[in-house]
A and B are shown apart, each in its own frame.
Chain A
Amino acid sequence: MENNCYKQRGNNDKYPLEVLTWKLGEDVPDWLSDLAKIGAMDANTNKVSLETRNTNQGGYELLDSSGQGILLKTKNKTDLICKDTKKSAGGLFVLSLVQFNLIYDGRQDN
């Protein structure tokens, strides 16, 4: 599955220089489906969907692959799950679209 890679616009060493992103509703990339609990798989297309749990604050949680723990928690449904391209394992974090567009170049969806 092809993913776009986004680079920092400027520089902030608290964040990775390069990230991959995923937003709810988009095709699930391998780097995420390897770590998160899969809810369903389409037999024809092999596309997977992740198991999500809504939070009271308007966001959602992704469960880890065992289904026992929380992998990530977002504040909004539109938040982006980001992955540091330099880390083979882990390196996941959440950014809102506003935060993402201030730090990284490329993604303009609102």
Chain B
Amino acid sequence: MNKNAVYVLEQPKHSIVSIVLVNSEKLPLSPICHKNIDLLREFSDIFFVFSDKFNNREVNIPKFSNLYGACSYLCGDSTRIGFPIFTAISYCSNVFEKHYAYMITDTDKLGKVDKLEDKKKLLQEIALSGNDSPIFKIDRLGPEELGSIYLTESYADEEDNSEKDNVGIISSLLNFWKKRRKNKEADNIRLWSTHNSSSPILYIKSGTIKNLLNDYETEWFKDYLSSFVEEDLTYIFASYIKKLGLKNIDQSILEINIKGFNNGK
């Protein structure tokens, strides 16, 4: 299996796609997550995304994807999960060209959602509605969390301590260069992590997805994605939606009311 390559098990047949990051610490999946994936499969095409970390465990990814009736899967080549997630989004948008709405979530969060069945009809109706705003409750990170980002000492210092035995001019220069490089990399970590979300699912329409993909192949966007080190997608999307200045419906899709989404009627 090639990394960062999409494998299509069956062509999409729904107007909604559910992009699900498999990030559970333990497998098999919890009964709630298992049930929710089966439910999503009833009305959406499932696209599983695996990080490189996951691939190192003894999991047969094609079998897992087949058994859960996924339409596609891909495994990233790094633990920075933003890359495979955006590859999946781009593939759906540019190659499948079929879906009106995208739901982006992970198995960890799906394991904690207990009201999904009640929202099945709503999720389908919003896909066909005139609403274009992402449905995602976005919260500004508090001073403590921001502090933990800008006050964090670079990990380079810790690693450099282990290298203090090296002596000589060449070693010193090499260490200096390594330290500069590490500091530069460290400077990027969580640089754009300004917002988060308590919503377990990001619900977003295809028109807005095109906005998210505008910078997809730029160097800046690669920097952006590589700066998110946590395995939690909500930081990436909440911060990006705010950065783009997109108007969002500031509620979880699980708490939203059907009123107002039925083509304005």
What is A's interface to B at a CB cutoff of 8 Å?
8-14, 96, 98-99, 102-103, 105, 110
Contact = CB atoms under 8 A, between A and B. Distances in A.
B183 to A, nearest CB: 30
Interface in B88-125: 90-91, 94-95
Chain A, interface SS category: loop
Given A10-B5, A10-B74, A99 B11 contact: no
B2 interface: yes
A89 to B, nearest CB: 25
Given A9-B2, A110-B217, A14 B8 contact: yes
Contact of A96 (B2, B6, B91, B94): B94
B95 A9 contact: no
A6 B94 CA distance: 19
7 contacts: A9-B4, A10-B5, A11-B5, A12-B6, A12-B7, A102-B91, A102-B94
Contact of A99 (B74, B87, B95): B95
Contacts of B11: 14
A21 B94 CA distance: 19
A14 B7 CA distance: 11
Query: Which 10 pairs from chain A and chain B are nearest by CB?
Result: A10-B5, A9-B5, A12-B8, A10-B7, A10-B6, A11-B7, A98-B94, A102-B91, A99-B94, A102-B95
